[in-house]
């Protein structure tokens, strides 16, 4: 099993435990298939928002806004469920980026909202199959907000959710398919 390093080691603004976060991330990394290398988790405890960004692949480094690990019903306290959801999605996307067969997606900052949510639908579907138990309804609603509230978007979501072994080209084609069905605003 690889090493997980969480910073800061001591949290001052939120009631998080770095050793516990590292333990949860290790478990998730093992289920995702990234258990060998070092994973760095850099938590900005001063930001209550929920964004998680991959800032490096060597070593894998996740920049986490504190809200991503927070229990939504208990402010300032961490939630294992939130950690699993945020890290699982990010690490499946890391695994894709490290797989030459997946292709060469743009940097996260260059992804369109549609590309990002389509890729997330597939990553979180794989989380589900890995036993990480994400909320499918939450992801479907997020997908619909970016791809449209219509039957075509729902079919594309289901296909992405259930698929293994997709390539970046498959993600792009899914986005093109939903674009053709969206109503102009």
pLDDT tens sequence across 34-93:
978 999 999 999 999 999 999 999 999 999 999 999 999 999 999 999 999 999 999 999
At 125-142, the pLDDT tens digits run 999 999 999 999 999 999
Cα 8 to Cα 23, 64, 93, 167: the distances in Å are 15, 11, 24, 35
In this structure, are 82 and 9 located in the same domain? Answer: yes
**pTM of the complete model:** 0.94
As given in the structure block, the two tokens for residue 172 are 């792009």
Give CA–CA dist 139/95, Å, rounded.
20
Residue 64 lies in a domain: yes
In this structure, are 87 and 120 located in the same domain? Answer: no
Predicted pLDDT of residue 181 = 84
Residue 22 makes CB contacts below 8 A (sequence gap 6+) with 4, 5, 6, 41
In this structure, are 14 and 94 located in the same domain? Answer: yes
Residue 185 lies in a domain: no
Predicted pLDDT of residue 29 = 97
Write a three-state SS string for 28-88.
Answer: HHHHHCCCCCCEEEEEECCCCCCCEEEEEECCEEEEEEHHHHEECCEEEEECHHHHHHHHH
Residue 157 lies in a domain: yes
Q: What percent of the chain has pLDDT over 90?
A: 93
Domain that holds residue 26: 4-98
In this structure, are 137 and 85 located in the same domain? Answer: no
Is the distance from CB of 69 to CB of 52 less than 8 angstroms? no
Residue 82 lies in a domain: yes
Cα 110 to Cα 113, 119, 152: the distances in Å are 9, 13, 25
């Amino acid at each position: 099993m690889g090493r997980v390093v969480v910073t800061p080691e001591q949290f001052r603004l939120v009631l998080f435990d770095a050793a516990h976060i590292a333990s949860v991330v290790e478990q998730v990394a093992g289920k995702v298939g990234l258990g060998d290398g070092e994973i760095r988790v850099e938590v900005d405890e001063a930001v209550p928002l929920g964004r998680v960004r991959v800032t490096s692949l060597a070593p894998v480094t996740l920049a986490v806004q504190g809200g991503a690990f927070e229990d939504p019903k208990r402010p300032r306290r961490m939630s294992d469920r939130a950690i699993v959801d945020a890290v699982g999605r990010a690490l499946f996307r890391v695994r894709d980026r490290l797989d030459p067969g997946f292709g060469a997606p743009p940097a996260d900052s260059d992804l369109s909202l549609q590309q990002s949510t389509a890729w997330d639908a597939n990553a979180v579907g794989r989380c589900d199959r890995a036993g990480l138990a994400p909320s499918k309804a939450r992801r479907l609603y997020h997908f619909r907000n970016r791809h449209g509230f219509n039957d075509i978007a729902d079919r594309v979501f289901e296909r992405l959710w259930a698929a293994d072994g997709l390539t970046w080209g498959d993600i792009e084609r899914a986005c093109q398919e939903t674009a053709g069905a969206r109503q102009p605003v």
